[in-house]
Amino acid sequence: MIRINENFLSMEKNYLFIDIAKRLAAYTAAHPDKPLIRMGIGDVTLPLAPAVVTAMKKAADEMGVKETFRGYEDSGAGYAFLREAISGYYKTLGADVSTDEIRVNDGAKSDCGNITDIFSRDNTVLMTDPVYPVYADSNRMAGRNILYADSDESNGFAAMPDKYVRADIIYLCSPNNPTGSVYTKEQLEKWVAYALVSEAVIIYDSAYEAFITDPSIPRSIYCIEGAKRCAIEMCSLSKTAGFTGVRCGYTVIPDELVVKASDGRDVKLADLWARRQGSKFNGVSYPVQRAAEAVFTEEGQRQIRENIHYYQRNAMVIANTLDELGIKYTGGINSPYIWLKCPGGMGSWEFFDYLLDKVQVVGTPGEGFGRNGCGWFRLTSFNSYENTVEAMARLKTLDI
């Protein structure tokens, strides 16, 4: 008789953002005359940069011509032209990442979830709470033991390692989803030192690095000495370049990241990941990889920067409103997310329903990201400027 993976039975019925989408669909069906302003899921609203569109169209045309048509990409790691562009980009961040250490993917979410395939189920996993649900969900599906490091008001939502806690796999995200907090260089040095001493691996999600405005904040874990011996980095063009509907990102596994197998052999994690991807992933389409390459050109960088500035202006509108209303928050400066304390002691789902019902503004309840998110709420700066201004004007009409 078939047996199911019963780890799924102990999980919430839906992924957080699917759950919210269902609630919103029900609300809209019941109130068709009340349009929503969506500041919940981190989905961008500005169109792709012109340089990206031109590159994608040109590549699509090439695919329609016998001489330039392409089938499978042989290495499975992504075309060299894109990996070279990404490697060059890392140099601008002050990190040395070679072309061979990069694998192109269809966005950070897949790799964040799939990377667990290369690790034994027996590992203990450490992640912050609140946390991007993908890290927790994928390890719960695999039945791994998860420990949580509290990120809360007392530490500025930037949990630090505890030398009395033993972990094998550590998830870090900076700028953080959902709290918008960032790790300083000194804090990341402590995490790297902890991982090296514990012989643990850090899975570092840098999907929001392009939103960092403070030049002292590292935009890659590889800006930290020793990180190449203990960290895997995942990044995405979803928020940086508006690729949420295009799908492209990259994972870096350095050559120096070598671990011992139970028989004493040294094993390069990059080799395991290449083996896993070779069997289970056929790569990203040629037009998408050409579009991604365009992001890293001078013109592409200038154009995507304009879009990022647009969202940063929205973040400022939100922050100014919260200041005016005397509501506590973090994020918004180095991040597209604003993490606010629900007013009047409301619970986070209670505040979600309240905002939806009274002013049709949608955010994400902090509780969906973990225990420390209770009483907190996430807003994104990814809507249009006009909608952001309107949403904040509506917030000011409330008795909060």
Q: Which residues bind ligand MLT (CB under 6 A)?
A: 17, 41-42, 109, 177
CB atoms within 10 A of CB 218: 23
Closest CA to 398 of 363, 347, 358, 360: 358
Q: Using DSSP, state whether 377 is helix, strand or coil.
A: strand
Q: Would you tell me the crossing angle of helices 348-359 and 385-396 to the nearest 10 degrees?
A: 100
Question: At its nearest, how many Å lie between ligand MLT and the CB of residue 310?
Answer: 18
In the bound state with ligand MLT, the residue whose beta carbon lies nearer, of 177 and 334, is 177
- CB neighbours of 275 closer than 8 A, spacing ≥ 6? none
Give min distance, CB of 191 to ligand MLT, in A.
22
At residue 181, φ and ψ (nearest 5 deg) are -75, 160
Q: For residues 42 and 373, which CB has a smaller minimum distance to ligand MLT in the complex?
A: 42
- Of 83 and 247, which has the nearer Cβ to ligand MLT? 247
Please, which residue, 200 or 338, has the CB nearer to ligand MLT? 338
For the bound state, the minimum distance from the C-beta of residue 177 to ligand MLT, rounded and expressed in Å, comes to: 5
What is the full DSSP assignment across 186-250?
Answer: HHHHHHHHHHHHHT-EEEEE-TTGGG---TTS-SSGGGSTTGGGTEEEEEESTTTSS-TTT--EE
Nearer to ligand MLT, 42 or 161 (CB): 42
Closest separation in Å from C-beta 55 to ligand MLT: 24
- 180, 330 Cβ separation under 8 angstroms: yes
Decide whether 17 or 281 has the Cβ nearer to ligand MLT. 17
Quote the tokens at residue 197: 């001493």
By C-beta, is 167 or 355 nearer to ligand MLT?
A: 355
* Rounded (10°) CA dihedral 220, 222, 228, 229: -90
Separation of first and last alpha carbons in the chain: 56
Q: Which is nearer to ligand MLT, 17 or 349 (CB)?
A: 17
- The residue assigned the tokens 């690729």 is 243
Determine the Cα–Cα distance for residues 113 and 318; give it in Å rounded to an integer.
Answer: 31
Of 294 and 362, CB closest to ligand MLT:
362
Output 19 or 390, the one with its CB closest to ligand MLT. 19
Residue that is written with structure tokens 């992933």 in the block: 281
Rounded to an integer, what distance in angstroms lies between the CA atom of residue 89 and that of residue 108?
A: 17
User: Rounded to the nearest whole angstrom, what is the least distance from the CB of residue 109 to ligand MLT in the complex?
Assistant: 5
Q: How far apart are CA 39 and CA 387, in angstroms?
A: 9
Closest distance between ligand MLT and the C-beta of residue 348, in Å?
Answer: 15
Nearer to ligand MLT, 131 or 167 (CB): 131
For residue 235, the tally of other CB atoms under 10 A from its CB is 27
To the nearest whole angstrom, how small is the minimum distance from the Cβ of residue 15 to ligand MLT? 7
Give min distance, CB of 108 to ligand MLT, in A: 8
**Phi, psi torsion values for 48, nearest 5 degrees:** -60, 150
Measured distance CA(180)–CA(346) in Å, rounded: 21
The answer to whether the CB of 272 falls within 8 A of the CB of 210 is: no
CA dist 299 and 261 (Å) reads 46
Smallest gap, in angstroms, from Cβ of residue 140 to ligand MLT? 16
- Comparing every residue's Cβ against ligand MLT, the nearest one is 42
Q: How far is the CB of 37 from ligand MLT (least distance, A)?
A: 16
Least separation in angstroms between CB 17 and ligand MLT: 5
Widest Cα–Cα separation across the chain: 66
